[in-house]
């Protein structure tokens, strides 16, 4: 079930990335285990926690994070999204985190609609801006996915998906 949900995330993230940035995305997805807990430092990210129920009545909890290793990469990404939205590059520089959040909101909306087809119905908490952080997969047991989307020669973003397994 979790693998199907991560594939939905990958499909929608790539589609939204292509639409909002105008670049053809290159995808690399990985399912991580507890042994893969060392992750790079990220300069900027947006985290959105979710909770809900599966079709069998069990709890579904976790989070999404959309992260960038450098501010240069995040700003270039934000400029492309600003252009797509008809806004200026100055807006993108001043509010880079808002444009990253806009991208993540669209991806999550589409992804969660697909999750409902797989029996997961979830609600979201407000986004939380993360600056200068490390994503640690060892903090809470679960199923953890990393999706890297890049626009060759321009920038890349990493999207993390963590389903908690100890939600009793």
Q: Are 50 and 124 in contact (CB under 8 A)?
A: yes
Residue pLDDT tens, the chain, 168 long: 788 888 999 999 999 999 999 999 998 888 876 555 556 678 888 888 999 998 888 898 999 889 998 899 999 999 999 999 998 888 777 888 888 888 988 998 899 889 998 888 999 888 888 887 766 655 677 888 888 999 987 899 988 888 887 645
pLDDT score at 54: 87
Chain position carrying tokens 């959105």: 48
Domain assignments of the chain as residue spans, ordered by start: 2-164
pLDDT score at 37: 56
Q: Strand 59-68 and strand 41-54: pairing? A: antiparallel
Q: Are 51 and 59 in contact (CB under 8 A)?
A: yes
Residue 31 structure tokens: 């399912």
CATH code linked to domain 2-164: 3.40.1550.10
Residues 6 or more apart whose Cβ sits within 8 Å of residue 102: 81, 85
Q: What is the three-class DSSP state of 33?
A: coil
């Amino acid at each position: 079930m979790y693998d199907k949900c991560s594939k939905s995330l990958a499909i929608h993230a790539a589609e939204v990335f292509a639409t909002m940035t105008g670049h053809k995305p290159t995808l690399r997805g990985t399912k991580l285990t507890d042994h893969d807990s060392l992750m790079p430092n990220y300069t900027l990210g947006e985290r959105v926690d979710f909770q809900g129920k599966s079709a069998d009545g069990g709890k579904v909890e976790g989070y999404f994070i959309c992260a960038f290793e450098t501010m240069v990469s995040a700003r270039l990404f934000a400029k492309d999204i600003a252009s797509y939205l008809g806004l200026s590059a100055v807006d993108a520089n001043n509010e880079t985190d808002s444009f990253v959040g806009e991208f993540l909101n669209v991806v999550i909306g589409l992804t969660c609609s697909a999750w409902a087809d797989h029996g997961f119905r979830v609600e979201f908490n407000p986004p939380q801006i993360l600056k200068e952080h490390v994503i640690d997969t060892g903090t809470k047991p679960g199923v953890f996915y990393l999706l890297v989307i890049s626009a060759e020669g321009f920038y890349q973003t990493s999207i993390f998906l963590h389903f908690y397994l100890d939600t009793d």
